[in-house]
Every structure is written in structure tokens, then in C-alpha cells.
Amino acid sequence: MKNKGKHQWIEKGYEAISEVGFTHVNIEFLARALNKNKSSFYYYFGDWDGFEEELLAHHYISGQVFAAEADSCKRIIPDMINLFLSNKNHIFFHKQLRIHRQKPKFKACFEAAYQMFEAAIIEQWASFLNMKEQPMLAGKILTLISENFLLQITHENFTYSWLKDYLFETSTLLTDTNSKAKK
């Protein structure tokens, strides 16, 4: 692999940030985790800003792959849940971008990755909510649910059963609301 050393820094940074957040990760933290000299970091990235740019590019590509895999899911439950579980670092890095969205480049990357995901699943999502005739409303609900989801997930609760319960609660809430509105 070309630039194997550079790729190792990016992978470790992506993983570490998804686990402990941007505020706890720095060059020294990564150097210790990789058992590498900090000079190689500067050789590959120049500075932390250069490294962040590489991480964001990595997340965008990860978002493209994630969206393509989401598009191929047949059902929200269990397929989408399993996709989320197998892409834990992507989900938690995405959460960190959301937390630190006051940085314009983080916000732009967060929004671009989310838009790819939404486009990939909106039909399945609308069907899951029994809202095939209202895809725009289903999209708005997906945005709200996604925001809430990112606020609620932790490394401890990110399990199949928690994700399934979260989706059922969402679906039940909307079904109950629709039923009451029709009365």
C-alpha cells in the first residue's frame, strides 16, 4: 500500500476520535498509540490542520461506502442495524463531527455524509414509517431522529437490542401520533 505510514496515522486518528472525541486526541496521543515518532506525523501532515483535512476526506469516503451499503440493505431491521454495528467507528466519528459542528469544515463534512446516507435510505425509511406517500415528511423526521440518535448513542448502549428498541420506539411514536391525529 502506498503511504502505509500515513494511512496508519489516519486510521488510528479516526478510531481514537470515534472512541474518545476530538478534545482528547492529539499528536502525542496518536504517536504513543502507534508507537511512532511524532516527526513522521509532521512529515505526512505538516500540522494538525492538515491531519484534520485528511480525516475529513477519509470520513467522506467512508460515508460514500456507508451510503452504498445502506442502499443495498433490504430492510431497516435487521439489515440497517447490522450495517450500523459493523460501522461503529464511522457512526461515532460522525457523532464527533456533529458535536464540533461549530467548525465550518466539520459541519460541511457532517452534512455531506448525512445527505449521502439520507438519499440512500429515504425510500426504505418512508416505507418503515408507513409514509410512502409522504417522502418529504419522512425525510424531515429522519433528520430529527438522526440528530436525537447521535445525542443518545454511547459506546455502552450501541448494541443490536438498543438500536432495535430505538427504531421501534420511533415507529410507535409516529404511528400513535398519526392515529391520534386521524381521530
CATH of the domain at 18: 1.10.357.10
Least confident of 2-6, 95-99, 122-126: 2-6
The CA distance from 20 to 57, in Å, is: 20
User: Which domain covers residue 153, as residue numbers?
Assistant: 4-182
* pLDDT value at 180 more than 60: no
> Whole-prediction pTM value?
0.93
* pLDDT value at 88 more than 70: yes
* pLDDT value at 178 more than 90: no
Residue range 169-176: mean pLDDT, rounded: 79
Q: pLDDT class for 8, splitting at 50, 70, 90? A: very high
Note the pLDDT tens digit of each residue in 111-124: 999 999 999 999 99
Structural domains in the chain (count) = 1
Q: pLDDT class for 172, splitting at 50, 70, 90? A: confident
Residue range 61-73: mean pLDDT, rounded: 98
C-alpha closest to that of 58 among 98, 104, 93: 93
State the cell numbers at 14: 479516526
* pLDDT value at 167 more than 90: yes
The full DSSP string for the chain is -TTHHHHHHHHHHHHHHHHH-GGG--HHHHHHHHT--HHHHHHHHSSHHHHHHHHHHHHHHHHHHHHHHHHT-S-IIIIIHHHHHHTHHHHHHHHHHHHTTTSHHHHHHHHHHHHHHHHHHHHHHHHHTT-TT-HHHHHHHHHHHHHHHHHH--TTT-SHHHHHHHHHHHHHHHHHHHHHHH-
